[in-house]
Structure 1
Amino acid sequence: MATHLDLEEQEQLDQFKHFWNQWGTPITTVLVVVLGGFAAWNGWQLWQQRQATQAAALADAVTVAVQSQDQGRVALAFEELKKEYGATVQASQAALQVAKAAQDAGKTDAAKAALQWAADHAEDAGYRSTAKLRLAALHIQAQELDAAAALLQGDFAPEFKALAQDRLGDVLQLQGKTQEAIAAYQQAWHQLDERLEYRALVAYKLNALGIATTATTAPTTESAS
């Protein structure tokens, strides 16, 4: 009986050896890839968490410096944040905060620089769009109309496109380009939700230029382009 069991075990062992000789390498390769990918994913998650934590600490330093109205400390903390963690959400938020503080302090150039950085480097399209709109407003205040128009004709997140077109209409009016301004306002009017009160402001601008706004009003050729 024992001999029979020994022979059966030996046969099973031989079958396993044959199977492993044939499939051992592919199985090992798959396991290495799967386990390696799992380890890499865990490592990436830990790295992301560490980046977010460290970026948050620097962003807090920016906030403290802003609250103390120490522009020198603001600049140092923000530069470090951009250098080390420029791809984080915290850096984008800090850029908008720094720009507002600089503008409130009458440091227009510093405000423009912070907003330009966010417009160029923010990972989130919403932050990029916000920075562009605010930077365009500063250009308009400085009568830098060409610079403002160039910004407003760039790419914007979908929820910001109507605002960009409305502001572009303002710039074009200041440049004396009435027909182009009408086209921009019409784009804005059609893109805005009809339930928004802001849409009525755009309609007022169009009416002031002699253009009636109705549900069937179509954008002009310029706006369609």
Structure 2
Amino acid sequence: MAYDLEEQEQIATFKAFWSRFGNLITWVLIAVLGSYAAYNFWNSHKRTQSVEASALYDELANAVTANDNAKAQRVAADMQKKYDSTSYAQMAALGAAKTAFEANDLKTAKTQLQWVVDHGNDEYKAIAKLRLAGVLLDEKAYDAALKMLSDGIPQQFAVEVSDRKGDVLVAQNKLAEARQAYVAALAAMPKEHPARQLVTVKLEAIGGTAPAEAKDVKAPAAAA
């Protein structure tokens, strides 16, 4: 097929351009298409992981309900090995910690909670720290419990932190500081907070007085 002079000049210009830049353009396209393929593969992989982790978590939830500590620990360990980047692994570790605690296996409970502290997002880390402080309280490791409660827990958990600090301080017989902690918890609670009545009872049990905004919730009358 014959080309006119203008077309021949355009073809020559293109050939010269491609001779100079064609290799670079090819590699750029390969990189872009490779990145796109990798992105799609990663998203597909994450979706597959989420589905598989969800099925395993259901298995763990059944073990927790049945108080099957051995099975809960096995499933949690499997999830931490295979699906550590999913939220299901964090929830599984919290569930496994619960069954271990109820089985009086405090060492395993602490190990599971520490895994969440080390690998979880901010919310799950905070929950794990609060529960770990409770385990440390049961072990009479009071200073360690207070340190755990002072270790960067988000402000949204301020009520729970103050309440748990109060519990630790009562165990240490530091009643004045415990009263301050319970008062701080009550002051931060909305009126409808489900734990408000319990914290009020604990505060009054050590000679404290609930702040005015907590007065609308009365402790239950003692049985005759």
CA distance in 1, matches of 2:61, 2:164: 30
> Superposed, which structure 2 residues align to 1:15-26 within 5 Å?
15-26=13-24
- Match for residue 163 of structure 2? 166
SS in 2 for 1:103: helix
| Letter in structure 2 aligned against 1:17 | K
Percent sequence identity is 36
Corresponding pairs, count: 210
| TM-score of the two chains, using structure 2 as the length reference | 0.73
Q: Is residue 140 of structure 2 the alignment partner of residue 156 of structure 1?
A: no
Shift of 1:15: 1.6
Name structure 1 gaps, 5 residues minimum. 215-225
| Letter in structure 2 aligned against 1:15 | T
Q: Is residue 69 of structure 2 the alignment partner of residue 46 of structure 1?
A: no
Shift of 1:13: 0.5
Shift of 1:212: 6.8
Shift of 1:167: 1.9
Name structure 2 gaps, 5 residues minimum. 214-224
Residues 28-75 of structure 1: CA distance to partner in whole angstroms, max 9, x if unpaired?
Answer: 343223212211211211221222223223223322333443333222
CA distance in 2, matches of 1:210, 1:59: 44
Q: For the Cα contact (< 8 Å) 1:129–1:160, is it kept in 2?
A: yes
| TM-score of the two chains, using structure 1 as the length reference | 0.73
Report the aligned-residue RMSD. Answer: 3.4
CA distance in 2, matches of 1:162, 1:68: 31
Q: Is residue 135 of structure 2 the alignment partner of residue 138 of structure 1?
A: yes
CA distance in 1, matches of 2:168, 2:66: 36
Q: For the Cα contact (< 8 Å) 1:153–1:168, is it kept in 2?
A: no
CA distance in 1, matches of 2:68, 2:103: 10
CA distance in 1, matches of 2:94, 2:203: 29
Seen in structure 2, the aligned counterparts of structure 1 residues 31 and 70 have a Cα distance that, compared at 3 Å, is: same
- Match for residue 220 of structure 2? none
Residues 153-176 of structure 1: CA distance to partner in whole angstroms, max 9, x if unpaired?
Answer: 112133223421332243234334
Seen in structure 2, the aligned counterparts of structure 1 residues 184 and 29 have a Cα distance that, compared at 3 Å, is: farther
Residues 188-220 of structure 1: CA distance to partner in whole angstroms, max 9, x if unpaired?
Answer: 567x36566467957x94995589789xxxxxx
SS in 2 for 1:87: coil
